[in-house]
Structure 1
Amino acid sequence: MSAFMNGKSSKEASSGMTWRIIGIFGGGLAALFVLSILSLGFGEAKIPAATVLEGLLNRQDVMEHNLLWDIRMPRTVIGLLAGAALAAAGALLQTITKNPLASSDTLGINAGAYFMVVLGMVTFPALQHEFPFLLAVAGGLLAALAAYLLSGGKEATPVRLALSGMIVSMVLGAFTSALHIFNKNETQNLFLWGSGSLIQLDWDGVKYAWPFVIPLLIAAMLAGRQFDALELDESTARSLGQRVGLARGLGLGLSVLLAAVVVSVVGPIGFVGLVAPHLVRLSGIRKHHLLIPASALWGALLITAADTLARMVRSSVGEMPVGAVMAIIGAPWLIWLVLTKMKNISGSGSGQSSMNIGGTALRIRFVPTVICMSVLLIVVILVSLSLGGTRIPISELLSSLIHRGDGSYSVLLNLRLPRTLVAAGGGIALAISGVLIQSAVRNPLADASIIGVTSGAGFGALTVMVAFPALTVLAVPIAAIAGGALAAAFVFVMAWRRALNPSVLILLGIAVSAIASAGIQVMIVKGSLWSSSSLIWLTGSTYGRSWNQFNSLFIFLIVLVPFAYYLGRRFDLLAFGDESSTGLGLPVRGTRLWAMIIGVMLAAGAVASVGTIGFLGLMAPHAVRMMIGHHTRRSIVLSGLLGGLMLVIADTLGRTIMAPKEIPSGLIIMLIGAPYFLFLMYRSQVRKV
């Protein structure tokens, strides 16, 4: 009887799996067919479904059929190929890393490929025109290896890998932004493409992509058994005779090639490789000979749906880049995944619950260091005031500042002084914000940009610039503050039920950053901002800052910094972990919330004044922590001084190196901070804490 019941349950399970497979493939194909018909019909000129079917089955030499076959069909087909390739790459990456958050965008592959394509367009356009795929492959592979190694390799936790991939993407994004700003004419056409665009004028893109995508997908399916073995424990797989290292290398190579060919044709499109494989895995499919084609099918479906939606809203806001639409679709999926499916999300990888970044603190004496840095900041401010297109002798500068000079430089100083003080105040605010946010999330690799504040503030400001250009100048900083506060509030509310778990905060911040960044991409394309001051503002600039910006920033600093210093001893206890801190009598959730609120407000005030400057809130606290160790109150003081010093120096260099042309100070900070931050990532990975 028992054998009979076991056989019956086995048959029921087999029957259930069969129906799930039929649903995944049959339902997916049916939905894809319907969406493809809709995709072919939508556009500036709508084509009825009946005409679409007639054109597909019996093409005539009429305008609708020619439009269908020569313009819209290539766009739809390239979307199918792109979605299939990105989804299959995501499935492979999740398997070889054993990480549910792995995909071509979270590992930085898309950003690496995009950077190399832009670099090729600027430095060697002939090579870029002939071999865009090779450049994209090189960039994607290097980015993936960097993210994987910096996250700890095989021992990386999901959060660590996602954070490493985001940081690698930020680093590459800094250099890509530099290429865009310094080579506007050469790269202007890459802005829309850089947001992910399926627009095709002929069949050239399809002819280029399909000989790569189809064979790579077939190769991945044929190697399914090798990838199945990676789902097992490594020692078990080796005992079964599987060559685990070779299988991982094959999976990484296939995924990078699939993602690179997509980026080289349609630009970087995120979240497809994250969402599609998860949808398939939720149905119970685990074997890779089914998982890979099913993921490819649903990836094609997702891209087609996103592209159709982008064209459906064209009449009201203009056609959105498909990459932005996919981010709006995929980011909520990541939020749902984090809150409902990932139970043990924090893990135990290095950097998860420690504020140590490797190495030993120098234990420099605090008071003498504060005095030296304060004097140095004053000196640098004075030097900054004297330099520029017109140089002011130091003696005349000092006389003018104390109103004893002849006044010949007073007008110039009225322009430079508020700008320099805004730079100092913005650097102070961003650095202290970094100290507080890192304490709150108990991770030394976090700042306002990681939890979505910077992107939210940028989106708020750009919304006013594009949608309401007639509003006063004061509306931009107000919108920036509102955008940053809303982004942070959303992250806090969603993470509240998880006790504001640091890992949850980081992952939700990544999702919110993706949504806000998608909105920024839409605003840049819609407002044609790639050659305007708005784009410069997005990279961080102190150009044209007046006493109004300084006064508002000064209010933020004078109110929030003393409050942060007062709570500094409580923030120190957060470094010990939730259980230890609770045992010491600390209300962990409330303390973490206060640290985040103050940090977010300081960051939003800084963004409103100096734009979206990245890395400063990461670098200054790290440098101070290496000098004095973990001490929140002292870190607030020293990090603020160091942040102000760094941004004033960056502002000075920006307006003197290529005078009269100015380099955005945020761009200089990014170019300095990117290599430094990669070094910090390496240190935090080498020393297992």
Structure 2
Amino acid sequence: MNGHSSEKTSINMTWRIIGIFGGGLAVLFVLFILSLGFGEAKIPAGTVMKGLLNRQDVMEHNLLWDIRMPRTVIGILAGAALAAAGALLQTITKNPLASSDTLGINAGAYFMVVLGMVAFPALQHQFPFVLAAAGGLLAAIVAYLLSGGKTATPVRLALSGMIVSMVLGAFTSALFIFNKTETQNLFLWGSGSLIQLNWDGVQYAWPFVLVLLGVSVFAGRQFDALELDESTARSLGQRVGLTRAVGLGISVLMAAIVVSVVGPIGFVGLVAPHLVRLGGIHKHRLLIPASALWGALLITAADTLARAVRSSVGEMPVGAVMAIIGAPWLIWLVLTRMKNISGSGPGQSSMSIGGVALRMRFIPTAIFMSVLLIVIILVSLSLGGTRIPIGDLLSSLVQRGDDSYSVLLNLRLPRTLVAAAGGIALAISGVLIQSAVRNPLADASIIGVTSGAGFGALIVLFAWPAMTVIALPIAAMAGGALAAAFVFFLAWRRGLNPSVLILLGIAISAIASAGIQVMIVKASIWSGNSLIWITGSTYGRGWNQFYSLLIFLLILLPVAYYLGRKIDLLAFGDESSVGLGLPVRGTRLWAMIIGVLLAAGAVSSVGTIGFLGLIAPHAVRMMIGHHTRRSIILSGLLGGLLLVIADTVGRTIMAPKEIPSGLIIMLIGAPYFLFLMYRSLVKKG
């Protein structure tokens, strides 16, 4: 009986292998022909076949071989490399969410290529792969170590990779804004583009990809051993550390090659290996080539779809199409396949990040920070292209227009107050969201609100540019609210589990970010204010934005303060909170709703400013410990203070040229946030 069952299993496995490889190759061949046929000028399938079998010196055949064939082939190579890298990374980290994009490898390689174009153009031109590999390797090591290494949970690894990507994205944005001439052509490439003008990219990439794939397949048995418990693998004579290092090196090199030629493309390394594993293949000598095959299939399908469904603004970048395909896959994976996601893992159940709170007295601290905020606002009003002495400034503010500086103040005062109000809203939003998901490394950008709001605002900037004053805040709030509502809806059946919320937020952020990339690239708004707004800016803000923010704060802050005591109980964990009589799901939902509304209102006025909702609550928690009501007040004051300082520095340090406030916050917040990740890791250890 057992022999019969074993034989039946073996037959089933054989058919599965035939289906995965044979079916995959058949579908890839069809997509290959379709890819060659679609474009500005469609080529019938019959003409494509004739051109492949017997090339003639006619326009269709030349177009086929010189333009479309390199694009299709580089897509196949890129998909194969990214998928194989994802399969290896998932094995090395024993984490189903590992891939070159979730570990920050793509972002690291992208940053180094852009930096090379600006600072080392000769080196970048001769050795683009070297810079990309260095950036990818460094990003992967940082993300892996910050997540806790071998003990990392899937959520923590995904969050660490996202944070590293955000940090590198901040520096990449700085390079774009300060070097528009040198980097303008890289923005489309940064969205993931397979466009090739000749065979150079293919000739550069194919030897590396094939050799690395061959090495990884040859070392398949060593990678199989990593699936075992580490002590068991060592007892079998396996050199686990060396195997991990080799696997990481191969993965980084493959991802770096892809990024250096076609830009960062996400989700391929996440989706393709899972599809193959669902088919029952787990041995690496089959898993790696099968993943490579289905990765090639996925990118070819995405690129063909991008060219087949052309809008009035042209085709979408393939990276954006893959995000739209891959993000729903991540959502499905989180909701159906990852049954044991825990909301009480390291860095989730505790709002501490390590270290001892300074235990500063609340009332003196609040008074000091309030006075400091007023002083900084006055200093900000006095600085700029035309400096206003403090005495004349106070006189002009009191006399309301009698002084010669009144016109200037009518420009600076509302802008500075918008910065203060926006900082207050973002910081308090961070307090509420971190408390609701019980994760000190979460804010509006983590659960998709910031990207959703930015996407909504860009739709207005693109479709109705004359209506931006009225429609922009509404669209931003609607986009942020819709993104959050979708995340809450999907996570509701899982009890609004904090880990589920974060992973779903990452997926929704990817979709919204793909939409933002498409509009910036295709709507020809690179040279306008849209990129600056997306980075976060207080430029040109007036009384209308201040009044709308003030209304938000007057309505929502009392509600947030009222919820403070209930939110404090969430820190004890779900079971303990229920035992204390707290309606956990309802409290978490209300905290998230208020936090989302505050963030969306701020984004509608000051753009997509990241890190502020992360920095301020952490700094306050280090000052006074965990106390939600006091954190709301002090975090708000600190957030306002930081954004006013960023606004002042941005418009004075390189005057008359302005640096977006959000960029300054990101450049300050990025190193600080990496420090927080390190502190939480030390606490965990």
- Measured in 2, the distance between the counterparts of 1:88 and 1:625 equals 42
Structure 1 match to 2:93: 97
Does structure 2 retain, via aligned residues, the 8 Å contact 1:157–1:348? no
**Shift, 1:316, TM fit:** 3.6
Q: Which amino acid is 1:508 matched to?
A: L
Matched, 1:76 2:72: yes
Q: Which residue of 1 aligns with 2:263?
A: 267
Worse overlay, 525-534 or 324-333:
525-534
Task: Say which SS state the counterpart of residue 232 (structure 1) adopts.
Answer: coil
1:136 paired to 2:132: yes
What do residues 617-671 of structure 1 show as CA deviations (whole Å, max 9, x unaligned)?
0000000000011100000000000000000000000000001111000000000
Out of 421, 427, 431, the residue aligned to residue 423 of structure 2 is 427
- Cα deviations by residue, 1:585-628 (Å, 9 ceiling, x for unpaired): 00000000000000000000000000000000000000000001
Q: Which residue of 2 aligns with 1:287?
A: 283
What amino acid maps onto 1:390 in structure 2? T
- The residue type equivalent to 2:581 in the other structure is G
Please name the residue that 2:646 is paired with: 650
- Per-residue displacement from partner, 1:459-514 (whole Å, max 9, x unpaired)? 00001111222324211111000000000000000000000000000000000000
Instruction: Identify the residue that residue 222 of structure 1 maps to in structure 2.
Output: 218
- 3-state DSSP of counterpart to 1:471: helix
Instruction: Report if aligned partners of 1:119, 1:179 keep a CA contact under 8 Å in 2.
Output: yes
Deviation track 1:241-262 (CA, whole Å, cap 9, x = no partner) reads 1110011001100000000000
Partner of residue 272, structure 2: 276
Residue 103 (structure 2) aligns with: 107
Q: For residue 308 of structure 2, what is the aligned residue in structure 1?
A: 312
> In the alignment, does 2:135 pair up with 1:150?
no
Q: How far apart, in 2, do the equivalents of 1:25 and 1:463 lie?
A: 42
When residues 649 and 356 of structure 1 are mapped into structure 2, their CA distance, relative to the original with a 3 A threshold, is: same
Is contact 2:37–2:44 with CA below 8 Å preserved after alignment?
A: yes
* CA distance in structure 2 between the aligned counterparts of 1:352 and 1:404, rounded to whole angstroms: 51
> 1:317-332 residue pairs with structure 2 within 5 A?
317-332=313-328
Q: Distance in 1 between matches of 2:312 and 2:300?
A: 20
In structure 2, the residue corresponding to 1:99 is in which secondary structure?
Answer: coil
8 Å Cα contact 1:151-1:164 kept in structure 2:
yes
Confirm whether residue 453 of structure 1 aligns to residue 449 of structure 2: yes
Letter of the 1:532 partner, please give it.
G
Query: Alpha-carbon deviations, 1:224-279, whole Å to 9, x = none?
Result: 00000000000111111111001100110000000000000000000000000000
Contact 2:313 2:523 in 1 (8 A): no
Q: In 2, Cα distance between the equivalents of 1:252 and 1:583?
A: 45
Match of 2:597 in 1: 601
Residue 99 of structure 2 aligns to a residue in which SS?
Answer: coil
Structure 2 letter corresponding to 1:239: S
Contact 2:400 2:406 in 1 (8 A): no
C-alpha distance in 2 between matches for 1:72 and 1:357: 52
Greater Cα shift, 604-613 or 349-358: 349-358
Q: State the AA in 2 paired with 1:127.
A: L
Superposition pairs of residues 345-356 of structure 1, within 5 angstroms:
345-346=341-342, 349-356=345-352
Q: Which segment drifts farther, 135-144 or 462-471? A: 462-471
Corresponding residue for residue 36 of structure 2: 40
Which one of the candidate residues 115, 121, 126 is aligned to 2:122?
Answer: 126
Alpha-carbon separation, structure 2, partners of 1:280 and 1:624? 47
Counterpart of 1:465 in structure 2 is 461
Q: Secondary structure at the match of 1:474?
A: helix
- 1:618 is aligned to 614
The yes-or-no answer on 1:235 pairing with 2:223 is: no
Partner Cα separation in structure 2 for residue 136 and residue 315 of structure 1: 33
Shift of 1:349: 4.0
The answer to whether 1:381 aligns with 2:377 is yes
Matching residue of 1:659: 655
Deviation for aligned residue 1:526: 1.1
Task: State the partner residue of 1:521.
Answer: 517
Contact 2:561 2:632 in 1 (8 A): yes
Contact 2:344-2:573 at 8 Å conserved across structures: no
Corresponding letter in the other structure for 1:333: W
Give the 3-state SS of the residue equivalent to 1:470 in structure 2. Answer: helix
* Residues 1:633 and 2:629 are matched in the alignment: yes
Structure 1 residue identity aligned to 2:409: L
In structure 1, C-alpha distance between the alignment counterparts of 2:586 and 2:362, rounded to whole Å: 29
Q: Percent of aligned pairs with the same residue? A: 87
Alignment of 1:560-575 (within 5 A): 560-575=556-571
Q: 1:550 aligns with which of 546, 552, 559?
A: 546
Cα separation, 1, equivalents of 2:512 and 2:382: 39
Given candidates 436, 440, 444, the residue that maps to 1:440 is: 436
Q: Given residue 158 of structure 1, which amino acid in structure 2 is its aligned partner? A: P
Residue 180 of structure 1 is matched in structure 2 by 176
Alignment of 1:362-377 (within 5 A): 362-377=358-373
Contact 1:155 1:349 in 2 (8 A): no
Asked if structure 2 preserves the Cα contact closer than 8 Å seen for 1:433 and 1:617, the reply is yes
CA distance in 2, matches of 1:532, 1:209: 35
Q: Which of the numbers 36, 45, 51 marks the counterpart of 1:49?
A: 45
Deviation at 1:71, TM superposition (A): 0.2
The corresponding residue for 1:497 is 493
Amino acid at match of 2:13: M
State the shift of 1:525 in Å. Answer: 0.8
Separation in 1, partners of 2:643, 2:343: 36
Choose from 194, 197, 209 the match for 1:198: 194
Conserved 8 A contact 2:460-2:468: no
Write out per-residue CA displacement over residues 173-209 of structure 1, whole angstroms, 9 at most, x where no aligned residue.
0000000000000000001000000000000000000
- Runs of 4+ deviating beyond 4 Å: none
The 8 Å contact of residues 401 and 407 in structure 2, kept in 1 or not, is answered as no
- 1:315 is displaced (CA, Å) by 4.2
Q: Does 2:203 correspond to 1:207? A: yes
Conserved 8 A contact 1:565-1:636: yes
- Uncovered stretches (5+) of structure 1, i.e. residues with no partner: none
CA distance in 1, matches of 2:401, 2:177: 39
**Residue number in structure 1 paired with 2:332:** 336
Matching residue of 1:63: 59
Partner of 1:534: 530
For 1:409, which of 405, 423, 437 is the aligned residue?
405
TM-score, length-scaled by structure 1: 0.99
Q: Distance in 1 between matches of 2:78 and 2:72?
A: 10
The offset of 1:314, in angstroms, is: 1.9
Query: Amino acid of the residue matched to residue 620 of structure 1?
Result: A
Structure 2: runs of 5+ lacking an equivalent: none
Q: Secondary structure at the match of 1:662?
A: coil
Deviations 1:548-607 (A, max 9, x none): 000000000000011100110000001111011001100000000000000000000000
Deviation at 1:346, TM superposition (A): 1.9
Question: Equivalent residue for 1:297?
Answer: 293
Q: Give, in whole Å, the separation in 2 of the partners of 1:442 and 1:60.
A: 65
CA distance in 2, matches of 1:261, 1:526: 26
Instruction: Give the Cα separation in 1 of the matches to 2:371 and 2:680.
Output: 32
How far residue 352 of structure 1 moved from its aligned partner, in angstroms, is 2.3
Q: CA deviation at 1:317?
A: 3.9
Deviation at 1:45, TM superposition (A): 0.3
Deviation of residue 406 (structure 1)? 4.2
The CA RMSD measured in Å over matched residues stands at 0.8
Q: How far apart, in 2, do the equivalents of 1:134 and 1:625 lie?
A: 42
Letter of the 1:646 partner, please give it: L
Q: Which moved further from structure 2: 543-552 or 397-406?
A: 397-406
